[in-house]
Amino acid sequence: MKIFSAISLLIFLIVAGCGGGGGGSGINSLVSGGSNTGNSGSEAKVSLAWDPSSNSNVAGYKLYYGNSSRTYESSIDVGNVTTYTFQGLTAGHTYYVAVTAYDHAKDESGFSDEIECTPR
């Protein structure tokens, strides 16, 4: 049984070529700017930050990402933090990212709005 309603997160992506979120719960605003690893022209990183959930039962957050909208092949449990940097991404490849919150029993909220990002 899920104890959370859909969470509303504000995510800022610091990377060129990202877009998404509008209206409803989830990603409400974006900031763009360059962010490359510098080691290779084909590797990139994306830095994420979001406002914490107002629910006092939140124990942490999970980031979901994949190659197709709303089809997430992978997730990362980032713990009880509100920032994360994806490293080793392929420049020019489009990624779709959403976030959930979870409680101590690992019950998760619904997904935030989705962000579409193509790091350069």
Q: What is the pLDDT of residues 65-106, one digit of tens each?
A: 999 999 999 999 999 998 888 888 888 899 988 888 999 999
Q: Which CATH architecture has domain 11-117?
A: Sandwich (2.60)
Helix (H, G, I), strand (E, B) or coil at 39: coil
CA distance 112 to 22: 11
If we measure between CA atoms, which residue out of 75, 24, 76, 13 comes closest to residue 48? 13
**Per-residue pLDDT at 41:** 54
The string of pLDDT tens digits covering residues 15-73 is 334 555 433 333 322 223 333 344 455 788 888 877 788 888 999 999 999 999 999 99
**Per-residue pLDDT at 110:** 87
Residue 11 pLDDT > 70: no
Contact predicate 21/113, CB 8 Å = yes
**Per-residue pLDDT at 10:** 42
Domain range summary for the chain, segments of one domain joined by +: 11-117
CA distance 8 to 10: 7
Handedness of CA 45, 72, 28, 52 (dihedral sign): negative
